[in-house]
Amino acid sequence: MNYLKTGMLLAALTGLFMAIGAALGGQQGMVIAFVVALAMNAFSYWNSDKMVLRMYGAREVDARTAPELHHMVGELARNAGLPMPKVYVIDNPQPNAFATGRDPEHAAVAATTGILHTLSREELAGVMAHELAHIKNRDTLIMTITATIAGAISMLANFAMFFGGNRNSNNGGVGIVGTIAIMILAPLGAALVQMAISRTREYAADRMGAQISGNPMALAAALEKIAGAAHRVPNMAAERNPATAHMFIINPLSGQRMDNLFSTHPDTGNRIAALETLAREMGGRGAASSGGAASGPWGRPGPRPGAGPWG
């Protein structure tokens, strides 16, 4: 059902893009819009992972520099039937994580030092499993394409006055009123569809991640802790690059208390409720992991960022 909903939303987003191109430039405008979309998608397909990792100052770690984290990701990747992704650590106090990469063979997971110092080992495993689920579902590619098309719609809308403002409705154009409407409504519509796709994929990754780790309640406890800390600890890199907010397991932006209609992530309480239902289906495993103080090397207020078992 999640895949069907995602496909329908992507089709709607693509249709909106093509419709704007046709409205602004007729058949020629529609073809130009399609070519621009293909070019932007191709660029994003090959370069988005490198760009976002560089954007957040992520540093790659391995079995020598971060043995416990690297081993954990390797175990979870085997459980998921995935090749070992690259593992990165971001020196950032906000607990959060994301996955990126164009396919499972070219994937990476990134965790902040804040999340390594905040969660217990079981909770961190739940988060890493969630990110691997995004890789297995190819959500990183889906969201890259979604962001690209949404960005292209915004770009077309910004140039609407140049392309469509001089074409009146009698000659097949949208006219000045239609042009203004496109400038205002098109980016809004694209953003809403993008957010709906992001929320759909988060629910799917929660479910699959809990199955990969075998502990839904550990992931639920992690989501609760991360959401609480994200309200208090700013992520300045994310604030400078809000278009990447949908990649994180919890919205990293300080304005995340916006109305649900404009949120890139589902409500955390709803996600936890879905995981509790899954835990009952799986026999309630992991109930002891929810709530309480974090334990183990992942939960202690560890050493300064850049040190410790994670590198």
For the stretch 86-141, pLDDT in tens is 999 999 999 999 999 888 999 999 999 999 999 999 999 999 999 999 999 988 77
How far is Cα 221 from Cα 209, in angstroms, rounded to an integer? 14
Active site residue 131: yes
Model pLDDT, residue 1: 54
Query: Strand pairing partners for 101?
Result: 107
Using an 8 Å Cβ cutoff, are 191 and 177 in contact? no
Model pLDDT, residue 146: 72
User: CB within 8 A of 267, min separation 6: which ones?
Assistant: 260
Instruction: Give the pLDDT mean for 182-190.
Output: 74
Instruction: Give the pLDDT mean for 221-245.
Output: 90
User: CB within 8 A of 179, min separation 6: which ones?
Assistant: 24, 160, 161, 164, 165, 173
Using an 8 Å Cβ cutoff, are 170 and 130 in contact? no
Calculate what percentage of the chain has a pLDDT beyond 90. Answer: 43
Give the pLDDT band of residue 45 (cuts 50, 70, 90). Answer: confident
Residue in 131, 202, 224, 239 annotated catalytic: 131
Using an 8 Å Cβ cutoff, are 295 and 117 in contact? no
What 3 state SS string does 13-46 have?
A: HHHHHHHHHHHHHHHHHHHHHHHHHHHHHHHHHH
pLDDT digits (tens, 9 = 90+) for 231-240: 899 999 998 8
Using an 8 Å Cβ cutoff, are 123 and 298 in contact? yes
User: Where would I find the beta strands (DSSP E) of the chain?
Assistant: 59-61, 86-90, 97-101, 107-112
Residue 168 pLDDT exceeds 70: no
How far is Cα 217 from Cα 70, in angstroms, rounded to an integer? 23
Of 54-58, 172-176, 191-195, the poorest mean pLDDT is in: 172-176
| pTM, entire model | 0.77
User: CB within 8 A of 148, min separation 6: which ones?
Assistant: 37, 40, 41, 44
Q: Which two tokens stand for residue 237?
A: 């890199």
How far is Cα 252 from Cα 95, in angstroms, rounded to an integer? 9
Of 82-86, 139-143, 239-243, the poorest mean pLDDT is in: 139-143
Give the count of beta carbons closer than 10 Å to the beta carbon of residue 284.
12
Amino acid type, 214:
G
